[in-house]
Amino acid sequence: MKPKTVFTVVAMLLLFVTLVGVFSVAAGPVEDAPSQLSDTPTPRFSTAVAFDVSPALRDLPAAPPVDPPSEEVIEVRPERGPIVQDQGYAGDGALDTSGQSLNGLIIPEPLVNFEGLSNEDNRTIYGVRVNPPDPVGDVGPNHYVEMVNVVFAVYDKVGNRLLGPTAVGSLWQNFPIEDCTDRSGDPIVLYDQLEDRWLLSQFTTRGPIFYNCVAISQTGDPTGAYFRYAFSAGEFFPDYPKYGVWTNSYLLTSRDFGPIGEYGISVYALEKTRMIDGDPNARSVQFFLDSAEVPINLIGDGLLPADIDGTRRPQNNVPAPVVGTQDEEGPYGAPFDALNVYELSVRWRSTPIASLNLVAQLPVAEFDSAFPCAPGSRDCLPQPGIVNPAQFLDILSYRQRPTWRLAYRNFGTHEALVTNQSVEALPAVAGVRWYEIRRAGGQYSVYQQGTFAPNDGVHRWMGSIAMDGDGNIAVGYSVVNGIDVFPGIRYTGRLSGDPLGEMTLGEGVIINGTGSQLTTNSRWGDYTSMNIDPVDDCTFWYVNEYYQITELAAWQTRIASFKLPECELDPED
């Protein structure tokens, strides 16, 4: 079958609804889910198209500042896909009413709280400002590494900057694939505590051949040298790449656009053992879920790969979960609200084998991802002092995908996965829908879910979630309203024994904003990052963006850590 564009596929939704109509709306996994993929996706094995070793990052020469810097704002890459029109508030079946009032609820204050990268760093290095920032980071035993579009930095764990700001392209200086040196962005940082290595990445945007550029540190020191790899995505632009740590692979998903409008989702595994050894022949396997052949509600606008927290590994050869989300009020004809769960299995033998299967479709409580934005636009969330709706902020909830990360833990008796998405929690009010998925005996279920949206008129969105080693959960997110809450950063949490579906600890503030975003587009960062400190398996670290001044794309980022009560674990337990 000839691939069709995502927009052409939307015209086929009635057919797709018929194909997926056999799914039950019962509260539990749908039987025989794999049969709903018309053909088992074919694994495509290949070898890295380029490899070398970088100099130690601490030895990279600093880029001379651009003088004079420009006030121009560039969008790293346009957000592709249909603009979703609101059809009215559909309600929220998991609204956490216990958190409607935050009075008397106390969450611990940040342990450290320091300034991260800002758009002024882009302006100094590149001479222009960049939007959106896509703030992301991770924490290791001694360091915190932050990346944004299109610079990065390394800090110690009290906030002293040890390296940077450095252009992401400088990480790839003199690499055989020159495209990797561009200011392309969509970066991801991972700390692999199973191997004491760092992964830094960006995609390429130059074309006509596109690449995923992946750097693996030679040691646990993120300021040292890296093994640099490029894996080809062919003629398909690998938008919105997301990575995860698994036992024998680094996982990667992307949202792919072909040269004549083809659309689909790619799921990759990268051969971890060879990559951490610096083997030029590291292999990858790719599965392409073509929207012309797979009902588009089953892939939506992206899938998230599992990313291991803690040192308790999954059992040998257990498949890696990969999760997507669907909304019956969304653009892709989903018959009900659900989480779609795939399993990716790879064995890196001399003749490798791999499979990707849809194994469960988990119905969830009603949610509404279509927010009442300005007609035909993604200008959704009002800001103080901003009267032009074209300067409202993008909620991005209408993209049918969970938001970074899909954090994984193995508790022995069961495995737990947590993720989240932005929704219209109350009429015209944004909130954070979060999920805990469990796998026990090979079967998946939604153990708990909730929507955090206290009834105070404040929008909460662009969240990231993680679980500590004791099973406590924390979510960080952006906040704003159109009156007196400028774009800022807050967080909430719950203890493992608390009532299911409730964030019981109230709300903490990482930083209050004091300015609003002015820019030529409404884009807010496409993701943020909540991570767990590998030293104690208890301390959460979070990075997000905020505004101090009302100016053209003058975003800043903030990095903070905090710890929830009752977590006193040894990460070796």
Q: Is residue 403 part of a domain?
A: yes
What is residue 266's predicted lDDT score, i.e. its pLDDT?
98
What are the angstrom distances between the C-alpha of 342 and each of 137, 241, 371? 26, 17, 28
Q: Is residue 45 a part of any domain in this protein? A: no
Please check whether residue 408 lies inside any domain of the structure: yes
Structure tokens at 85: 């029109």
Closest CA to 250 of 323, 299, 192, 196: 192
For the chain, counts of helices (H) and of strands (E):
4, 34
**Predicted local distance difference test score (pLDDT) of residue 37:** 64
Tallying the residues shown for the chain, one arrives at 573
* Distance separating alpha carbons of residues 205 and 213, to the nearest angstrom: 11
Residue with token string 């989300």: 325
Q: Which has the closest alpha carbon to 304: 347, 354, 254, 358? A: 254
Tally of domains in the chain: 1
Q: State how far the Cα of 80 lies from the Cα of 82, in Å rounded to an integer.
A: 7
- 459-467, strands of its sheet edge to edge: 459-467, 473-480, 486-494, 507-513
Cβ(327)–Cβ(367) under 8 Å?
Answer: yes
- Residue 197 in any domain: the answer is yes
Tell me which residue of 258, 314, 249 sits closest to 285, measured CA to CA: 249
In a domain, 379, yes or no: yes
Q: Give dist(CA 245, CA 307) in Å, integer.
A: 5
Q: Say what the pLDDT of residue 327 is.
A: 97
Q: How confident is the model at residue 12, as a pLDDT?
A: 34
CB atoms within 10 A of CB 565: 13
Residue 436 CA to its chain's centroid (Å) = 16
223: three-class secondary structure by DSSP: coil
Q: H/E/C letters for each residue in 49-111?
A: CEEEECCCHHHCCCCCCCCCCCCCEEECCCCCCCCCCCCCCCCCCCECHHHCCCCCCCCCCCC
Residue 567 in any domain: the answer is: no
Question: Could you tell me if residue 43 is inside a domain?
Answer: no
Collapsing DSSP states into helix, strand and coil, what is residue 558? Answer: strand
Backbone angles phi, psi at 286, to 5 degrees: -125, 135
What range does the domain containing 451 cover? 6-21+59-561
Please give the Cα distance from 470 to 416 (Å, whole number): 12
Is the residue at 32 inside a domain? no
Supply φ then ψ for residue 526, to 5 degrees.
Answer: -75, -10
SS3 15: helix
Q: Which amino acid is at 497?
A: G
Residue 358 has a pLDDT of: 97
| 8 A C-beta contact, residue 525 and residue 132 | yes
Q: What is the mean pLDDT of each run of 10 residues along the chain (573 residues)?
A: 38 32 35 55 97 96 83 82 84 85 79 98 95 97 98 98 96 97 97 98 97 98 98 98 98 97 97 98 98 95 98 94 96 96 97 97 97 88 94 95 98 97 98 98 97 97 98 98 98 96 96 94 94 98 98 96 85 49
Gap between the Cα atoms of 194 and 248, Å rounded:
10
The letter for the amino acid at 534 is P
pTM of the model: 0.93
The type of residue at 440 is: A
Cis? peptide before 405, omega within 30° of 0: yes
Categorise residue 164: left if φ over 0, alpha if ψ from -120 to 50, beta otherwise: left
